[in-house]
Each structure stands twice: as C-alpha cells, then as structure tokens.
A and B are shown apart, each in its own frame.
Chain A
C-alpha cells in the first residue's frame, strides 16, 4: 500500500524530540484553549500563527494542529463538570454529561467523552490516510473551472446545509469575500474599495479578523453572563477508566454511526457543531427509551463527542487534498500554509510529502497523546475555571492584541481587531454564522482568481462550468446542495398529501452560534 509506506515515512519525519515536545506543548495549550470560555479553536490557532512564521512548516503545523486536537478534547471538560460548553461543539455533551456528573459519575462521563473523541478522530484520520491521496491524485487534473466549481460547492454547502437563516449565511459569506477584495487587485493592480485610505491598501488580514471575531467577540459574549463557576469535582482513577472502557464495546454501533455522521459533516463543511447535535439527536431517535436521554446516559455523551471529533478531524481532508478547509479552524490552518510558503491543494501531496505525511502521522500520535494527557490532567484544567473570569479575560484580550499586532507589526491591526470584535459580538447575537465569513476570507482571492482564469480561458462564457463531465457534475451538485432545503420542502409537500409528515428533530436553539 502506497499510503501505508507514506505514513511510515511521515512518522519518520515526525519522530524528532523537538516535534514531540511541540506536540505535547500544543496539546496542553489546546486543552487550555478549549477549557477557557472566550478562547476557542480558531482564534487560539490564529493568535499563535504569527509566532510560527519563522518555524519549519512541518513543526509549525504539528504545533498548531495539536492545539486544535487539544481544544477538541478540552471543550468536554467544562461541559461535563460545569455545564458550560468550553466550545460550541460541546454543547450537546452537556445534555447528558452534566446530569452524569450530578449523579456522581463525572469521572465515567469524562472518560467516555475523551474515549469517544479518540475513536471519532481516529476513524477520521484513517479515512484521511487512505482517501486524501486518492482525492488529491484525482484533483491534480483540475483546471481553473473545476477549482471554481469546487469552491462553489463549498460555499453552496454552507448555505444549503447551514442551520441559520439562509440570508444571514449568504451575507456572512459575501462579507468575507468583500473583505478579501479590499486593497490592490492581484490581476489588474487596480485599487478596490480603499476609499483613499493608506492603511486599507494592504487589505484585511484574515488572522486579524479571526482573532477579533472569535476572540474579542467571545469575551464580550462571555462577560454578559455573570459568571459564577460552580463545578463538580472529578479525579479520574485508572480503575474508573478501565471500568468505563469495559462498558464501551456494547455501544459500538453508536460510536460507528456518530463517526460516520462526523466524517460526512466534516468533509462537507457542516462542521463539528452540526455533527455533535446530529450525532446526539440520531442516537436519541433510535434509542428504545428516549425519555432517559438528558438524565445522564453514557451514550448521550458518546454520540455527540464522537461525531464532533470525527468532523473536526475530517475537516482537514478537503483542506489537504483540495486546499478547501471544512471548518473555521481548518481555514485558519490553511491560511498558515500560505504564510509558510506552501501552496495548498492537490500538488501538496507531490511536492511536500514530508509536510503532508508528517501532519497525518501527527494526527495519529497527537490523538493518542491527547487522550493520555487529558485523562491525567482533568483536575488541573478544571481548577483553571476556578480562577475568576475578571483575571482571565484581560489576559485573553492582551494575547489577542499581541496576536493581531504580530501579523504585520501594525498597531492599526489591533484597532481593526477591536472593530471585528464588536462585529463578531453583534453577529453572534443576531445569529449570523461566522465560519462562512472566515472561509470566504481565506479562500476569497483564490476563488476569484479561479473564476477569472476560467472566464479568460472561456472568453467570458459561463458555459465553461458545464463544459465537461467533471466540472459539470460538480457544478450541478453545488446547485443541488444550494437548493436542497427547497427541494426537501417540495418533496415533503408532495409526500404530505399521502403520508403523514415526519418532521426532522430540530436541534436545540440554545447552541451558541460560534464555529468549529
């Protein structure tokens, strides 16, 4: 198997003491980021990105992706012990995790959550190992029209699959695109939307936007609640871990189903949040005794955690193979690739073997190390939340400011970050999703270039997007996904005349609208 030998090569690249140290550091930092409300995956990675500019790309991606794994693990700690989701994707974990903690089963719930996370991401990494090279090999034949069609598919999936108001998703996407267009046009050299401002010549850097929207916005949101953290205590002993593990095999179906849901939603940009809710709801719907959900069932913890992690991990597949990230954090990592001088996309597998396979190897190892670290350090991280928020909030703010400044050594960017923070706060409260905005910010230029190149090649005829089987199929799928809600309604309407309508279970609306 070619993938296997490449993977072994990847481990070869990864196993230096320096990379291992970075990995451990990244995971611990990531759990910290996941535990703290106000710091999340996307902005945690964004704040640290400028520090990696001078690093070797492989080490840099190991560090940053481990922060991501750590954050995925960390969100569950606060969800179960404090009933506060540290990350939006752990909201569904609170439904059964916190009741378990109330019943004195906090250690079991945590063990279940971490193990489920591990299973979910492990299956997703296996998928990436074997599928990503195939997709990349296929995508190497892509020209500009195909790439634009794939971008179109990504953006359409956001609109078609998103749970928010459709017009708000579109607005969020368009704002992202418009922000990237500000400044000098890469093709003609003309200035666009700068209104004579010198500062705007550089355009908007996506890192500054991400730090503001997610970091500062999140702090403002968190401050609204008068925070009194009253949590359950938990010490995880090896006996509890093994006792919990012994019960897990009987939930194999839940784990597999949630992994499948997660992988699907991760590759199409549904994201970890949608995946965790869907995993939970489906587990509940197929269960014999639906009423016991929400009162502390172990599969109520397993289902959302597995799905969230499978989604969070598999979001890296399209990022590596096509250069299109499946989640907000993946988008930030993708931006990192460009900063480190790597061209994301299918050629990465040919030209940057060390980088790609080192990253994939680090996903295997990072998840194993993450599982051990997180099981061992729960009490430590739970105590972090007992530090009063007025002490932590200004430190997060300072870190955000440093991160924003370090991107281009410009104080103006710190002001921009604040402005984005206010926008992020208002948008989140109004239910505008922020992940499409981030994605459009990162991909905007590339999508526009692909469009223009395709148009130049075709002398301005839109039919180029249907000119051969490949591009036509992708375009049609994109349009189908875009109009899926309408098609679904139409089908339901036709069926409604004969069969009783089966309403899909609506996910709880209390979910914070932040992104994976």
Chain B
C-alpha cells in the first residue's frame, strides 16, 4: 500500500531499469536451466501421451521468450526512475534482517522465544516504545499465540530448550 505523493530527496540505491534488467536476465537463465532439465526427462511424445517434461518444457520456452522481451525492453528503455531510495532501502533492511534472524531463531529457540525477541526488538529499537511496553506486549502476544495454536487448534509449533524445560 504505497502513497507516492510525499517523495522526498531520497538518493536512489539502484535504478528501476537495472533491477528490471537483472530480473529479466535471471528469468531467462532460469528458463534455459529448467528447460534443459525438462528436456532431459523427456519433453516429447510417449505411446501413452505427452512425457513428464512436455508441459514444463514448453512453459520454459514461453518464459524464455517473455523474459527476452523484458531484456529488450529494459535495454532500450531510457527511464532513470529509481527502484528504491537509500532511506527506503534502509527501512526495508530493518525488517528484512531481523526477519532472517527470526526464522533462524525458530530453529534454535523455538517459535515462541523467537517471536518474543522479534516483537520486543522491533518495539524497542524501531518503535522507540518504553522498556515495559516492549516486554509486556510480546509476552501477551506469545501467550495468546500459545493458547490459540497449542490449546485450541492443536497445531504443534516448533519449540526450543525453554519450552522443553517447562515440560512441553
């Protein structure tokens, strides 16, 4: 949900055109690699109908053509629009990096502890909430989550050492 009317002087990190081109090239490479593996499986005609690779192979052909059009359009484009500004990108990374840590944390600490850390960290460091609020809010959220998923819907979420110590 973006609103574009308050564009400020935000220096561009990378131009729209370069990202568009890179994505098109990656898609083109993907179409070749995937097309090749499907050709290996057999993209032709067996006695009982099309072979397993038939449908995906022609999809790859389509992907290849479409991404080639993308590449051509990107190359001839004269636009210098920005893909993302420096400040914007900083804010995106402020979510992206903790999210990575959160998912990694799920494997070591379980989802409850990891969620607590994610929410508390966000509130304290990005939201500048008070220490009390940044501790109490995630605790309530995590307890509620535990109640809903483990108790009401019996969805067993990944747990870590702390839950095991508490006999779960």
Residues of A within 8 A of B (CB): 37-38, 50-51, 54, 83-88, 165, 167-168, 170-171, 174-175, 177-178, 181, 185, 187-188, 190, 192-193, 195, 216, 218-226, 388-391, 393-395, 397-398, 401-402, 405-406, 409, 411, 414-415, 418, 421-422, 425-426, 429-430, 448, 451-452, 455-456, 460, 510, 512, 514
Contacts and interface: CB of A to CB of B under 8 A. Distances in A.
Interface in B1-59: 1-4, 16, 19-20, 23, 27, 34, 37-38, 41, 45, 48-53, 55-56, 59
Interface of B: 1-4, 16, 19-20, 23, 27, 34, 37-38, 41, 45, 48-53, 55-56, 59-60, 62-63, 66-67, 69-70, 73, 83-84, 87-88, 91-92, 94-96, 98-100, 102-103, 106-107, 111, 115, 118-119, 121-123, 126-127, 129, 137, 141, 145, 149, 153-158
Contact of A398 (B41, B118, B127): B118
Nearest to B153: A51
Contacts of A223: 91-92, 94-95
B1 A222 contact: yes
Question: Which 9 residue pairs are nearest across A and B when measured between Cβ atoms?
Answer: A390-B127, A456-B49, A390-B126, A37-B1, A224-B88, A167-B69, A190-B52, A394-B122, A185-B52
Nearest to A82: B3
Nearest to B34: A193
A395 B119 contact: yes
A224 B19 contact: no
Contact of A393 (B27, B48, B122, B137): B122
By CB atoms of chain B within 10 A, which of A38, A168, A219, A456 has the most?
A168
Contacts of A391: 119, 122-123, 127, 129, 137
Nearest to A83: B3
A390 B134 CA distance: 11
A494 B96 CA distance: 52
Majority secondary structure, A binding face: helix
A225 B50 CA distance: 49
Given A178-B60, A402-B157, 7 more contacts: A174-B63, A188-B52, A190-B52, A223-B95, A224-B2, A401-B115, A402-B149
Contacts of A389: 127
19 contacts: A50-B155, A167-B69, A170-B62, A171-B70, A177-B55, A177-B59, A178-B56, A178-B63, A181-B56, A223-B94, A225-B2, A226-B87, A394-B119, A426-B23, A429-B16, A429-B84, A452-B49, A452-B50, A460-B50
A411 B158 contact: yes
Contact of A405 (B95, B100, B154, B157): B157
A411 B106 contact: yes
A390 B103 contact: no
Contacts of A395: 119, 141
A193 B1 contact: no
Given A394-B118, A414-B103, A460 B45 contact: yes
B70 A426 contact: no
A170 B66 contact: yes
Given A171-B67, A188-B52, A391-B123, A429 B118 contact: no
B147 to A, nearest CB: 13
